[in-house]
Amino acid sequence: MGFFKSIKEAIVGKSAKTNEKYVAGLDKSSETFSSRMNALAARYREIDDNYFEELENILIMSDVGVNMVMTIVDEIKKEVRLNNIKDPREINEIIADKMFVIYANDSIMTTKLNYAKEGLTVILMVGVNGAGKTTTIGKLAHKIMEEDHKKVMVAAGDTFRAGAIDQLAVWAERLGIECVTGKEGGDPSSVIFDGLKRAKEAHADVLICDTAGRLQNKVGLMKELEKMNRIIKREVPDGPQETLLVIDATTGQNGVNQAVEFSKITDITGIVLTKMDGTAKGGIVLSIKDMLNIPVKFIGLGEKIDDLQEFDLEQYIYGLCHDLMG
């Protein structure tokens, strides 16, 4: 059972800074999960049905989706039978193994942004208010500029939330990029149209568009996003190349429900999970995979500008489970 060792070896070759960010960002989740698992192992001399029942509860409390919990536990039971495992402490490594394999299985694992082969790439950001959409746009713009060396512009399409336009403009100023704005309460789609026009004129590589996040009126939101998509396709036939859904990890199962609702409204190409450092329930990543099979592309591991990291499954499993491994 050298799986966890192989994960450790795999991440040794990766950036030490990224390793640290994942370990620090998932510290709350890891501590909670590990303390529950270690307490469980201490309570049982041998593995029986009661042990597995408690294991299911621990995984569910960590926000791993119920279906995935059942799959993980079934796989562990098979492993226990095959290898005649008696000691509950030996289960810890198997859990890390099964989480990795089940997430990676039948999955579109790409975390890379889908850039246009030529011309403008349009990224539409969606999500409910309070998920951290505007801040994520700023951090994502910074990341694209720093790592992919592209010219980025932003469009303040959330015209309904007081302060959203100003907040995005402040980010743009900080990054030294252009922000296309409209009037507060104005038509969001016209801001997107102006943004597309301006981005083409300025020969920008990427336009990141903010959108309103009101889920109370699903029909209105759907029509709004449909209109934006129509306008984008008219100007950039292959666009939007990405529609990224921003979810606040601290909202747990509610965040997963939001993802389900948004995926009914518009075609989501990837998830950005914010505030992972603020939750003790790191299993939400697995829950999203279980419910939607949409890739998590980025993960917010702190408040600094470079704390938005590309999602890395090995780093994530290590960050979540490293305290289990003694």
Residue ranges for the binding site for GTP? Answer: 127-134, 210-214, 274-277
CB atoms within 10 A of CB 212: 20
Q: Closest by alpha carbon to 324, among 29, 69, 116, 110?
A: 29
- Where is the binding site, in residues? 127-134, 210-214, 274-277
Distance separating alpha carbons of residues 168 and 134, to the nearest angstrom: 6
Is 273 within 8 Å of 258 (Cβ atoms)? no
Q: Closest by alpha carbon to 33, among 85, 69, 8?
A: 69
Residue 73 half-sphere exposure toward CB, CA atoms < 13 A: 21
CA distances to 30, 88, 89, 207 from 38, rounded to whole Å, are 12, 9, 8, 47
Is 242 within 8 Å of 269 (Cβ atoms)? yes
Distance separating alpha carbons of residues 291 and 271, to the nearest angstrom: 13
Is 137 within 8 Å of 170 (Cβ atoms)? no
C-alpha torsion angle, residues 14, 132, 175, 315 (rounded to 10): 0
Is 182 within 8 Å of 159 (Cβ atoms)? yes
